Structure 1
Amino acid sequence: MSDDFPAAEPNSDGVSDAIQGEIELVPLHRVEDVTGEDRRNDLDSLPGVPGSDPVGLVDASTDASTQIANAIVDERFDLALDTFVVTAQRLVDDTVLFHYGIVTEVSGRFEGAEMATDTARLVAATLPGQRYRRAEVSWIRTHPERYLPPSSGAPLWIAEDIHRRRALFLDKMAEGEAIAIGLDMNDERVFMPYSFLNGDRGAHVSISGKSGVATKTSYALFLLYMLFETEQGIAARGGSAHDRAVVFSVKGSDLCVLDRPNNRFHVDDEVGAEAMAQWSTLVGEVNPGPFGNVAVYAPAEEAEPGTEPVPDISVRDRNDTHAYGWSPARFISAGLLEYVFDDLESGQLSFIEQVVRLQLLRWAWPLAGDESGAIVLADPDLQTGDPVPSTWESAGRHFRTKKRAGLAAGAGMVVRDLDDIVAFVADKVTEGTAGFDPSWCGAVSAATSQAFVRRLWKATPRLRRLVRAGLAEVDLARQLSVVDVHALHADGQRFVVAAVLDHVWSQHENSTAPGKTFVVLDELNKYAPRQGGSPIRHLLVDIAARGRSLGVILIGAQQNPSGVDRDITNNAALEVVGQIKASEAMELGFLPPAMRARAQIIAPGTMITNQPLLPAPVPIRFPYPPYATRVAEVASSASDAADAAAFLDRE
């Protein structure tokens, strides 16, 4: 021993007086001694400890970490997957620390069995053994926030009341901002703060899953219903009557009946009765109705320019449906030529498109005495009045402020439909034609001009019905607007989606939108592919990046998340996964391996949700809707029956 520390004689306890003088020794049983008093698990008199019977104990035979632990389940209880649980321990300062978690796996076996044939002997009690079940628990949070492992052997309870609120971080949400996003596997509500949907702290939703199985669009509609049709959602939105939602119906016209009640939503139907109970749990209302403030838009049927537009739809009364399209004046002034193409990429083709788009705007004049949106294309340098600017923004202001007087039909070429526009452009950019004008080509080669014209002619029959005089675009005047695009060619669908979103985006960029706009778009991988480029892809990426601050919220759905631009999916605050292909599961990096494997076999109607505030994926279910999502679900009203009876009487 060193001279600095003289030896001391041990006392009667076997501990030297010198050491006793330097430190205060605490008997082992003061901290934790399983052979004596287990003080860390002595929870008597500690505040907030659940008074109900525990459902298990933290497994002492395996490591319990700050991230995961196993628990031995009491045989009197059935602790199911996805259940929220809580455990507690006494700290050395006599305060209590709670651990909150979610059950991510449950297993069971006979302890004592070494071979498969031991099973029969254990069941017959000819071999000693003990049956047990073990639950794997992933920890979500601690309260207070202390990064310590749970205590081995500590009791485990199902999280209820204040403990469930903490497990779901409801205590971290502002008053009134909690939105129910579904029911957990025990039919208890799971919440998300509205501030992560409306752009205050986050925005956008990404929904992935197989087509027809994962119910992607159904879940997107459920979210809209919670936001717009329930007291909970209306309160979270601050009661705003100016918020809007637009849904693109891309797979049939079934979504065009959202304002009709569902014929299975009643107590005599097993599915409907279960749904009514679930809705009662979600929003406190047993019998909610369909969406209340809905406008349905369908593409106008092909007709002569200037004729009264007729919506192309068969699932509802045409008198209750709006026909949509774009007049030549709107097509040119909004620069929608950009969205006619999907394959220009960058380079010379993209350049000539920009030149032609600007020239059309500079040459466009109202047709005198016309109210249908027809225009006259005439050389601006030959017209009187204010000179037409040569930049897009300035030329657009010049057009919109009506500084251009109407021209008579003889002053230039009268344009009443898309064919007229394409014919005029082809004449201007093709060498050797009577109207060829190099200022329309931007000095590109003749071959590039010809390639551009070929693409125009190719697109014309696919878009012809959408651009003609007498048509009006989608205006989003109602709270929910359904835009039917299913009957259009894929090029037509892309054009409509891009044109509507461009209008919405422009309103929000110019601060003319009265509230927030929620956009539901399925088949996102078709509109914003990861590989390649297109104008609509760039628009959607811009919405995903800046929509949070401008009030445009994208609710996108896709079968193959690997095919969607990552700048879109990475900006989603709420990620939702239904049943998904094995080849796509690896794209879901936010899911732990076990949950990723589960997503491949998850039941239809069950979704796995991931949100910023809750640091663990949570499976949820959402109820069968009170609104019709397909024509076969539309309930007949009394007026429908009366109309049918009157018709039969006339026969």
Structure 2
Amino acid sequence: MTDSRPILGRVAAPPEHESTSGVFYFWVDKDCGVERTQIVTTTSKVGDREVKFVGIVQEVYRRSRQKDIGEEAARFDGRSGEKPPPFDSEGITYAEVAILRTTPVAHTPPTEESEVYLATPQEAREGYGVDRMEHKLPVGLLKNGGEQTVGAAFIDLDFLLGANGGHLNVNGIAGVGTKSTFLLLVNWLLIEEAKRQAREAVSRPGNLQVVPVVFNVKNFDLFFIDRWNRKYRAKEDQHRSEWAEMGYPAPAPFDLPTFRAPQLKGERVAIRTGNRTPAEVKPYSWSLSDIIEMGLFKYLFSEDDISTANLGGLVNDVEEWLTSGPPDAPKLRTADNAPQTFQEALDWFKSNKEDKKFFGDYQGSTKSSFFRRLKYIVMEGDGVLRRYDTQGNPLLIPEKGQTAPWVIDLYGLQRTPSLQRFVVAAVFHQIQAIQSKPGHGALKYLITLDELNRFAPKDSHDPITQKLETVASEGRSQGIILLGAQQQASLVKPRVIENAAVRAVGRSGTLELGAEVWRFLGPSARSAAAQLQPDEKLLYLPSFREPMLAKIPFPPFALSESDAELPDAPPGRSSGPREQDMF
């Protein structure tokens, strides 16, 4: 069958540009143009088989017929203002192509003079194995050169949600990396996917159920995701058309998210979060009894030396003495005049630190270190850690699927980073306890956490870092999916980064891209990552031979208070049924 598409060029394999099983070159027809990131295809007779190759243009080169730069200048007698010579210099454009897929599978290059064509949308999807994805999620539009796209860009949910891998990690510099935008967009899309499955297969036990938990780490930006984005509204027709191409004809802000923020010191309400009213934002806090009952005592101590035998042992011994009841239902001890509040605990320790009945043979320096750290976090955290109250308002994460995220503020605790890390560990600890119960197999907890370098620093070994490492390495089997981000992956614990099966790269610094953690990206991909536009992401899955360049649609939800429409604007509504997949 003759291909009716225009031929872009033909495969060539001269010396120094030999084709391999991973890369081939082709010269470009002088009447055609080829751009980096375009997806192309060619078919070759290899032995007794006809093999179809789909690849992505890694780089485009132009070579003059002149032998050196001197000959180029001599044509104009070295004067740029001279009229061009009567005979054109001419030259050749050629492209380097990384092979994405061969059909049938063949570890061999195409043969020279094979015709090269621009891939169709179907061929482009096949190049990334979308036709093989049993469960797929559109996250943008597949780029095909500088301005063109070629249908939706998909990721494989089996790699994101735990079947074949788990977790998503996003890297990008501040501002143009648009990490939070992409993380929230993935949350929105997964909520919509859960709704779609519920509509289309009501009685199916394996339907996706999600509990999105989003930590707010910058200003109070994420406290307005239920309002329309003014910039989206300004160009709504354009943005809506991109969403429609992905299969979502009517995107909207998040419906009725739950907002939680730190409790004010001496008050029963949350801190101010922009123009949100107290009724819209519920406070969170823990009393001493909450800490003991939820097994969170050791997370109050975030320094690395908590893992040493001395201080770590003392922390465990104090927690054990404060605890009564069976292991599966711990309670705060009430006998023996045990302290019932954080302030009483400080007073009790100060009065009894020399009593060997409580503290055995621990050195005075160890006890002083323990007291100093406990006092610091209680004093600094007064409000979130209820110093004088016997009851707090602990975060109680839902145990069934939700159609809107829980937004938990950490920004209000910016003066006390150790308290921020405690809140994160407390949430992960609780979710692990929930998922250990029977009957939660289909439930997926989506934990969105930016600035991972704060919570799992590369050189840290404290209990909170260990908790995130455990979630990264084992969480997918428990239905806990980490949607994490950072400006520099090289500053984050390697296990947290390496266990993310789906990687998304926004605009990143060249120094960062030279770090060992980015070795999986080839030179062309690293070069592209340093030049990405704010609405572009390089997506990498284990099933991709090369990263996928996607254009990310503009979000309908506000990403800060300044982006948000006024409260009396029409509220967001669910997008309704998703259009049929486009292929």
Cα deviation, 1:340-376, whole Å, max 9, x if unaligned, reads 11212322011100111111113xxxxxxxxxxxxxx
Where does residue 192 of structure 2 map in the other structure?
A: 229
Taking structure 1 as reference, are residues 626 and 507 closer, same or farther at Cα in structure 2, changes over 3 Å only? same
Q: How far, CA to CA, are the matches of 1:96 and 1:241 in structure 2?
A: 41
CA 1:442–1:238: 2 relative to 1, 3 Å: farther
Which of 220, 223, 242 is equivalent to 1:253?
220
**Distance in 2, Cα, partners of 1:237 & 1:567:** 37
Tell me the residue number matched to 1:112. Answer: 66
Q: Which amino acid aligns with 1:158?
A: L
How many equivalent residue pairs?
A: 540
Report 1:343-422 matches (<5 A).
343=303, 344-362=306-324, 394-397=326-329, 399=331, 412=337, 415-416=340-341, 418-422=342-346
TM superposition shift of 1:229? 2.8
Q: Percent of pairs identical after alignment?
A: 25
SS at match of 1:85: strand
The secondary structure found in structure 2 opposite 1:426 is: helix
CA drift at 1:75: 3.3
Is the Cα contact below 8 Å between 2:322 and 2:338 reproduced in 1? no
Distance 1:74 1:92 in 2: 27
Per-residue deviation, 1:148: 1.8
Query: Match for residue 8 of structure 2?
Result: 55
1:119–1:293: structure 2 CA closer, same or farther, 3 Å change rule?
A: farther
Q: Give the letter for the 2:405 counterpart.
A: L
Q: What RMSD over aligned residues (CA atoms) do the two structures have, in Å?
A: 2.7
The residue number in structure 1 matching 2:27 is 72
Alignment of 1:615-630 (within 5 A): 615-630=545-560
Instruction: Confirm whether residue 201 of structure 1 aligns to residue 119 of structure 2.
Output: no
Distance (Å, rounded) in 2 between the aligned partners of 1:228 and 1:234: 10
SS in 2 for 1:471: coil
Using the TM superposition, give the Cα deviation of residue 232 of structure 1 relative to its aligned residue in structure 2, in angstroms. Answer: 9.2
Following the alignment from structure 2 to structure 1, what is the Cα–Cα distance between the partners of residues 57 and 5? 19
Aligned-partner SS, 1:319:
coil
The structure-2 alpha-carbon separation of the partners of 1:241 and 1:104, relative to structure 1 and needing over 3 Å to count, comes to closer
User: Which secondary structure state, in structure 1, belongs to the residue aligned with residue 485 of structure 2?
Assistant: strand
Partner of 1:264: 231
Do the aligned partners of residues 476 and 361 (structure 1) sit closer, same or farther apart at CA in structure 2, a change above 3 Å counting?
same
Q: Aligned partners of 2:162, 2:194: CA distance in 1, in Å?
A: 21
After superposition, the C-alpha distances for 1:501-547 in whole angstroms (9 at most, x for unaligned) are: 11112111234657110111111111111213111111111111111
Q: Which residue of 1 aligns with 2:130?
A: 170
Given that residues 337 and 357 in structure 1 are in contact (C-alpha distance below 8 angstroms), is that contact kept between their aligned partners in structure 2?
yes
Q: What amino acid sits opposite 1:516 in the alignment?
A: K
SS in 2 for 1:140: strand
Report the counterpart of residue 278 of structure 2 in structure 1: 318
Q: Which has the higher contact order (CA 8 A, sep 6+)?
A: 2
Q: Secondary structure at the match of 2:323?
A: helix
Name the counterpart of 1:487. Answer: 412
Q: In structure 2, do the counterparts of structure 1 residues 100 and 228 end up closer, same or farther at CA, with 3 Å as the change threshold?
A: same
- TM-score, reference length from structure 2: 0.86
- Which portions of structure 1, spanning 4 or more consecutive aligned residues, are displaced by more than 6 angstroms? 235-239
Q: Secondary structure at the match of 1:356?
A: helix
Equivalent residue runs for 1:69-108 within 5 Å: 69-93=24-48, 95-108=49-62
Q: 8 Å contact 1:299–1:323 — kept in the other structure?
A: yes
Distance in 1, Cα, partners of 2:105 & 2:240: 39
SS in 1 for 2:549: strand
**Structure 2 CA distance for aligned equivalents of residues 156 and 640 of structure 1:** 51
Cα offset for 1:56?
Answer: 1.9
Corresponding position of 1:612: 542
- Runs of 5+ consecutive residues of structure 2 not aligned to the other structure: 77-82, 572-583
Uncovered stretches (5+) of structure 1, i.e. residues with no partner: 1-44, 363-387, 389-393, 642-651
Measure, in 1, the Cα distance between the counterparts of 2:47 and 2:57: 28
Cα separation, partners in 2 of 1:120 and 1:484, compared to 1, 3 Å: farther
Partner in structure 1 of residue 580 of structure 2: none
For 1:531 and 1:589, how far apart are their aligned partners in 2? 20
Asked if residue 581 in structure 1 is aligned to residue 509 in structure 2, the reply is yes
* Distance apart, 1:640 and its partner CA: 8.6
Partner of 1:425 in structure 2? 349
CA offsets, 1:8-59, max 9 Å, x none?
xxxxxxxxxxxxxxxxxxxxxxxxxxxxxxxxxxxxx4xxx74312222112
Instruction: State the TM-score, normalized to the length of structure 1.
Output: 0.77
Distance 1:413 1:80, change over 3 A: same
- When residues 351 and 451 of structure 1 are mapped into structure 2, their CA distance, relative to the original with a 3 A threshold, is same
Aligned residues of 2:194 and 2:209 also touching (Cα < 8 A):
no
Q: Deviations over 1:229-255 (max 9, x none)?
A: 358975899784741111110111111
Equivalent residue, structure 2, for 1:282? 246
Structure 2 CA distance for aligned equivalents of residues 248 and 297 of structure 1: 10
Q: 1:333 offset after TM fit, Å?
A: 1.4
Among 561, 570, 577, the residue aligned to 1:631:
561
- CA shift at 1:77, angstroms? 3.0
Q: Deviations over 1:578-620 (max 9, x none)?
A: 2222221123111112321332233223222211111111222
Q: Distance in 1 between matches of 2:528 and 2:232?
A: 30
Per-residue CA distance 1:263-284 (angstroms, 9 max, x = gap): 2223xx34x4432222121124
Query: Residue 191 of structure 1: which of 129, 132, 154 is its match?
Result: 154
